[in-house]
Amino acid sequence: MAEWTERAELLFKPEGLEKLRNANVLVVGLGGVGSFAAEFLARAGVGTMTIVDGDIVDITNINRQLPAVHSTVGQPKVTIVGDRLMDINPELKLTRIKEFLSPERAFEIVSEEYDYVLDCIDSITPKLNLIIGAKRKRVKIISSMGAGGKMEASKVKVSDITTTVNCFLAKTIRRRLKAVKIDKLKVVYSSEIQDDSSLKMTDGSNFKKSFYGTNSYMPGLFGLYAAETVIRHLLKKE
């Protein structure tokens, strides 16, 4: 009987699969970006993963988030995504943290045991502290910028935050990182101009003041680019 990793092994080679099996990755945020990124990492064969999200599935998540279907509304995202990851790879060493990260906790949760951190948070202050924590502790991180209000898949790319354009979230994060003397950060972003007519304000709960309308494919594409960046790094790691 063929192994589930057979096709990956043909491409990555046995030594590449071993590198992925020995890797330890932290994914924070299991919405439209993070849920897809976590699945891509699990299907690639990453052996140890911690997933973090304090939210439950809302009916408005169904158009773009992997764990969201009508039957899962009201259930914790970390439970649904975690169960799915374990069904993909029963040998995955998985830690699930059901928690909305406060700014302080976002800094604390990063540790040197991780080979890579994926920041898929959509709230500015916890996002900023997660980035600062990774940078101060010298842990590699890739941060997802704003996928909302965007439509063109071809405009999505990975770059340093200093070269981003047409992204309000990146502009805000860049400015606040500069204030703490951090000037480099690998990000996934889109250079497309955001559709401001899709913006909606919130009550400010969970450190989130507003959000843009989002389609079915852009968040998943951001997650794909983030996962690709991590997987390719892990395969090259000595």
- Residue whose C-alpha is closest to residue 192's, from 159, 220, 156: 156
First to last CA, the chain: 31
Residue partners of 190: CB distance under 8 A and separation at least 6: 145, 146, 147, 150, 152, 155, 156, 157, 166, 167, 218, 222
pLDDT of residue 1: 54
Token pair listed for 187: 């990000």
Beta pairing class for 93-97 and 116-119? unpaired
pLDDT of residue 153: 97
pLDDT of residue 16: 97
pLDDT of residue 196: 86
pLDDT of residue 238: 74
pLDDT of residue 199: 87
Q: What stretches of the chain show up as alpha helix (H) in DSSP?
A: 6-21, 34-44, 77-88, 103-108, 124-136, 168-179, 218-236
3 state SS of 153:
helix
pLDDT of residue 204: 65
Q: Cα separation of 141 and 92, whole Å?
A: 21
- Residue whose C-alpha is closest to residue 27's, from 105, 75, 96: 96
Has domain 18-236 been given CATH number 3.40.50.720? yes
With tokens 């843009």, the residue in question is 212
Domain spans in the chain, listed from the N-terminal domain onward: 18-236
Query: How many CA atoms, within 13 angstroms, populate the side-chain half-sphere of residue 20?
Result: 26
With tokens 């699969």, the residue in question is 17
Token pair listed for 39: 């699945």
- Residue whose C-alpha is closest to residue 5's, from 32, 30, 42, 35: 42
pLDDT of residue 210: 80
Residue 138 region, left (φ>0) first, then alpha (ψ -120 to 50), else beta? left
Mean pLDDT by 10 residues, the chain (238 residues): 89 97 98 98 98 97 97 98 98 97 92 98 94 97 96 98 96 96 97 90 69 94 98 93
